[in-house]
């Protein structure tokens, strides 16, 4: 068993969940979110940030965990 994959998987999942929670509680703390909204527009910037900083890390974390457990 490779514990490094396990650690990375859990870390990516926790990062994604933290980002999701903080986006709802205090989005003003995410300076990249505001920059993306200015550059791409309100909806596209929000979607790009959501995918890049929440959905992708959670998905990557799940892949790392499955890779390790299977």
pLDDT tens, residue by residue, 18-32: 999 999 898 888 888
Q: Looking at the 3D structure of the chain, how many domains does it have?
A: 1
pTM: 0.87
Residue with tokens 């200015």: 38
For residue 12, give every residue at least 6 positions away whose Cβ sits within 8 Å of its Cβ, in sequence order, or none.
Answer: 57, 58, 60, 61, 64
Query: Which domain, by its residues, includes 44?
Result: 3-69
Dump pLDDT digits (tens) for 40-66. 999 999 999 999 999 999 999 999 999
Give the helix/strand (H/E) hosting 8: helix 3-25
């Amino acid at each position: 068993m490779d514990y490094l994959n396990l650690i990375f998987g859990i870390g990516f999942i926790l990062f994604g969940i933290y980002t999701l929670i903080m986006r709802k509680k205090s989005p003003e703390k995410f300076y990249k979110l505001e920059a993306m909204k200015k550059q791409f527009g309100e909806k596209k910037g929000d979607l790009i940030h959501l995918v890049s900083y929440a959905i992708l890390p959670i998905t990557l974390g799940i892949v790392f965990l499955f890779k390790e457990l299977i």
